[in-house]
Amino acid sequence: MREATMGRELVVFTANRVGVLADIARALAEQGINILAVAVMVHGDDAELHVVPDAPTYALDALRKAEFEVEEREVVVVELPHRAGFLRRITEVLARQGLDIRYLYASASDASQSSVVVFSCTNNGKAVLLLREK
């Protein structure tokens, strides 16, 4: 298994409207901030966007300057080989230790040798230590 690290994600709470992700991406791109991972969830008229930027502090400032309601959260970021069974391995490790996954999102491409998994669980620090052992 590759490296498991603590990461920071920014969660943007906003009205669900066409173009909101484009507005967030623009605010970050204008500051030269790269988005490493993103997940979007819609709850009725509201949207919740989870963004893992390469420069969380600057991204937080940029989004607040753009007048978005933003919350910073600690997450676990795991880079895995892009092969069948690796997600199973990490989720089984967490389950055996009684760590409940609150949410998870991942990204991979057919051309890549690796994938990125971002998640939050009942004890992120313990999860990182467990995954580093495997």
Q: What is the pLDDT of residues 77-100, one digit of tens each?
A: 998 877 778 889 889 999 999 999
Its sign, for the CA torsion 31, 5, 105, 122, is negative
Q: What is the pLDDT of residues 111-133, one digit of tens each?
A: 778 888 999 999 999 999 999 88
Q: How far apart are the first and last CA of the chain?
A: 6
- Domain containing residue 66: 8-73
Do 82 and 51 share a structural domain?
no
Do 64 and 12 share a structural domain?
yes
Residue 3 lies in a domain: no
The helix or strand, by DSSP H or E, that contains position 84, with its residue range, turns out to be none
As a whole number, mean pLDDT of residues 22-41 equals 96
The CATH number given to whatever domain includes residue 43 is 3.30.2130.10
Pick the closest to residue 40 from 14, 3, 1, 5 (CA basis).
Answer: 14
Domain count, the chain: 2
Residue 112 lies in a domain: yes
Residue 57 lies in a domain: yes
